[in-house]
Structure 1
Amino acid sequence: MILNLSIPLWLKAYWQHSQIFAFLDRLAQWQQHSSWVGIGLLGSLLVGLLGLLPYLSNNQSGLMTISIAIIWVLIWLGDTLTGQALKSPLHLPLICYWGIATLATLLSPVRRDALEGWIKLSLYLLMFASMSRVLSTSTSNFLNGRLNWRSLLVGSYLVTSLLVGVYGLRQWFFGAEELATWTDPTSDLAGTTRVYSFLGNPNLLAGYLLPAIPLGAIAMIVWRSWSAKCVGALVAIFSLLCVRETYSRGGLYGLYAEILALVILLIYWWSGSQRLPKWAIPGFIVGTVGVLVANILLVPSQRTRFFSSFLGRADSSANFRLNVWASVLEMIKARPILGIGNGNRAFNKIYPFFQRPGYSALGTYSVPLEITVETGIVGLVLYLWFVVTAVRHGWQQLNYARQQQQAEGLWIIGAFSVIAGMISHGLVDTVWFRPQVQILWWLAIALIASFNTLTFNSSDNLSNTPSDLEIDLTDNQANEPD
């Protein structure tokens, strides 16, 4: 369902004769006739942000995000003036969630601290809107329209993630200094090198590289030149190896989930255009599960790390999380409907009143719990509605692309796999709220939102536009235990 609210005529007339409307109308007309403020500038800023994401501080990322949000608002005003504003079924649940988050902030017991978290949330949602707007544009304005924005944005992330992965593997080979107590000193893995590359945290590195695995694999299939295919393959392989060497248990859960989702969806895609034997689909699925299980059982370090999750309080990290989760549940019981407001600063003010002695925390170490703490049960339900809507919309567009044999629909498979991996990781960790991971989450959602049947129909009519880019090369848990 696309958001389509009817406005009373008297209110609409009052608005159209107001000074604010006159100012916005002039601003929109200026944007329409501007050769600078357009999709080219917005897309270039997004490409730059995705390329520099691992190396930027939170403040630097915030400044770039604000710049992108301002440019998007100007473009949106111009689109609204011409009736070309992008509409998506995802907008209604997302606006509803933002509304509840706003109400939770206004009613927060620590309103001033929650306001900062609300501003961050609003900027992330504007980031999603910006990515959706750029990705829904068939081609860029560079090189006579031969560059595809979808490949430019994804390619920027993949190239920089390749550098991050290579440096992470270098740390694995030569060793790296531990910057925090990431391994239980009493476990069999004490002294094991956990790589963190440029991000300074193994769990954050795992969260950052998880999307690179399915997106790299899809790029290897979709991109046309062999050099670009090699880049996609290298990104997927290096990122997979690097995630394993982070020894992040949440990262491993996400890795297994996204690989399984990627294999199943690719088999489903190819089964539509090729006649596969009856045993092919179950055979590939069983084979993939077998490889994942063999990796756990046959590699001692992976086996130890994976099964330590089931030791309960016998493992120091699991025991820490269990105590934090118990305190967080008490916080939810105290304010179950709308929560305490957004952001880690609000959490830091309220959590000490429920904290168990010796178990201080900067977050809930679980994304569903964090959303519930911040916006209550109402917020969690609305966010689940948003995710379900995104998956449902993506599934419809994937089936349309599969029927029409549109290769760009494979990006939806990549986005689905990213979502599966991030959700699995987020069940036991909250690096999802860090800019280096949160922005990639919205990139995956924007990939889905940018597709609709009109997009595919328009691309069918572009006789001289390639279906994708041909390129040769193309503030939370800083020291969390795991």
Structure 2
Amino acid sequence: MNVWNQLTLTTTPLPTWIRSSLLHSWVGALRGWRRGSWLMQWADPIGAVLAAIVFGLAPFVSTALIGVLLIACGGYWLLLTLSDDKGLGLTPIHLLVLLYWLVSVAATALSPVRTAAISGLIKLTLYMLLFALLARVLRSPRIRAGVIAVYLLTALAVSVEGIRQWFFGAPALATWVDAGSTLAKTTRVYSYLGNPNLLAAYILPAVMLSAAAVFAWRRWLPKVLALLMTGLNAACLVLTFSRGGWIGFVMAGFALVLLLAHWFSRYLPQFWRRWAIPLVLGVSAAFVVLAVAAVAPLRDRVLSMFMGRQDSSNNFRLNVWAAVQDMIRDRPILGIGPGNDAFNQVYPRYQRAGFSALSAYSILLEILVETGVIGLTVFLWLLLVTFHQAWTQLQRLRAAANPDGFWLMGAIATVVGMLFHGLVDTVWYRPQVSTLWWLMLAIVASYYVPAWGWKPIDSYQATEITE
């Protein structure tokens, strides 16, 4: 058990690390200025507004503008941190995010295409700074709920446009379905995102969080709105006909259902408490099977997953994965460096004829290509620590019957779904989706309650000495 606690950083003495860390020594340098600043009295709400602008505009604007907004968020986080108390907001998840960034820096320094890798490192850094800002400001339940609401309302507009495309038609902007398939003429909605797979990845968190909102929002009218959101978001995701999105949707749904069954099981009699999770899981699985069996387009699309190279999309991915494995074998330790620019410069040397690609079409393979075995190990460690922290805090919230626990369950389910979708695609490297990935990690991190109760490290030292 001691090894497990060390592995999950449960027993990591963060105050001791902070006091001895050169990296953390500059935190609080502008603390005196902040105390006299009228504007910084609203520091957290200002950060929340910046984040809300990112999530409110992401589906509708160019990636360049999203980059500018991320730079603003990163700059504000730096100002906030320089004027903050030491140790506030730091969690074990932060340490793993920092470690992954350091591995990416090393991969960039040793990259065979260093200039392109630097571009990728800058993008990764901006996403991580967004995570740091969100993890800081989302500690307020009110701000957390507000930022989530902004994303949900934005996703609702995106879903409505997607459903409109289903009824009135939308031109395919690329060959998204095998021409020989029975679904060749089926409309695959893409809304404002321009790609059905990207839309599925964007909507997936909205399905889980809107389902969580049914329980988290207190009044009946918001609950009805949340229920409507859940239905529209789920319908839009299904109508993308994204097989990876469907896999993520099903796995995220199972995760959310299991978490909800666990949450409410304490209110059930002993018999139902024991059988609630197996029954809910069984009913959910039966519903999915019946839906696939009864709806012909859904059945055809699901069966295409098992057609191997007979399906053009499968065949394309298999050829890309074979080439990517060759790339990994040549640079297994630290990879080629982060970012799609680095991938696009190296991949042509390995690609099979006629199978050009912009990414590895698998998150695990992409991480292996970019940062090697070391990077993948740190990423898996980050996931382990994140899930452990999420489960620990969920038990605390469940014991207190705190409705904020529903947002945490929505975030956990979303992470599960995005990971399963990511096994066969890399659309969540796009900023509209990547920002949501870091939002989910930030939501989990925002629930962390350290042993010293978020007191400044200076206060912690004084308490430690007097005790």
TM-score (norm 1): 0.87
Say which of 124, 144, 162 aligns to 1:121.
124
Letter of the 1:436 partner, please give it. Q
Q: Provide the alpha-carbon RMSD of the alignment.
A: 2.1
Question: Is the 8 Å Cα contact of residues 31 and 74 (structure 1) preserved in structure 2?
Answer: no
The residue matched to 1:333 in structure 2 has which SS? helix
1:187 paired to 2:181 = yes
Is the counterpart of residue 58 in structure 1 residue 52 in structure 2?
no
Q: Distance in 2 between matches of 1:95 and 1:317?
A: 36
Residue 446 (structure 2) pairs with residue 443 (structure 1): no
1:175 matched to 2:169? The reply is yes
Q: Does 1:41 align with 2:46?
A: yes
Q: CA deviation digits over 1:239-263, x for unaligned, max 9?
A: 1101111000100101110111111
Q: 2:427 aligns with which of 415, 418, 431?
A: 431
After TM superposition, the structure 1 = structure 2 runs for residues 282-297 of structure 1, keeping only pairs within 5 Å, are 282-297=278-293
Q: How far did 1:6 drift? A: 5.1
1:306-317 → structure 2 map (5 Å cutoff): 306-317=302-313
C-alpha distance in structure 2 between counterparts of 1:127 and 1:345, whole Å: 21
In structure 2, distance between residues paired with 1:217 and 1:292: 17
Task: Identify the residue that residue 202 of structure 1 maps to in structure 2.
Answer: 196
Q: How far off its partner does 1:226 sit?
A: 2.0
Q: Given the alignment of the two structures, is residue 221 of structure 1 paired with residue 224 of structure 2, yes or no?
A: no
Which residue is equivalent to 2:380?
384
Give the corresponding residue for 2:4.
Answer: none
Letter in 2 for 1:105: T
SS in 1 for 2:83: helix
Spell out the pairing of 1:4-403 with structure 2 (5 A cutoff).
Answer: 27-37=30-40, 38-79=43-84, 82-138=85-141, 148-275=142-269, 277=272, 278-403=274-399
Change (3 A) 1:262 1:419: same
The total of aligned residue pairs comes to 438
**Contact 1:28-1:74 within 8 A present in 2 as well:** no
Per-residue deviation at 1:347?
A: 0.5
Aligned AA (2:120): G
Q: Do 1:272 and 1:403's aligned partners in 2 also have CA atoms closer than 8 Å?
A: no
Q: Deviations over 1:271-304 (max 9, x none)?
A: 1233362443322111001001111121111111
Equivalent in 397, 411, 414 of residue 415 of structure 1 = 411
Per the alignment, do residues 7 and 283 of structure 1 end up closer, same or farther by CA in structure 2, a change over 3 Å counting? closer
TM-score (ref. length: structure 2): 0.90
**How far 1:233 sits from its partner (Å)?**
1.2
- Give the CA deviation at 1:401: 1.1
Gaps of 5+ in 1: 139-147, 459-482
Instruction: Give the Cα–Cα distance (whole angstroms) in 2 for the partners of residues 348 and 404 of structure 1.
Output: 50
1:453 to partner: Cα distance: 3.8
Shift of 1:25: 6.3
Q: Shift of the alpha carbon at 1:231?
A: 2.1
CA distance, structure 1, for counterparts of residue 426 and residue 19 of structure 2: 43
User: Gaps (5+ residues) in structure 2?
Assistant: 1-8, 455-467
The separation in 2 between residues aligned to 1:421 and 1:26, in whole angstroms, is 40
In structure 2, distance between residues paired with 1:301 and 1:43: 42
Say whether the 8 Å CA contact 1:323–1:359 is kept in structure 2: yes
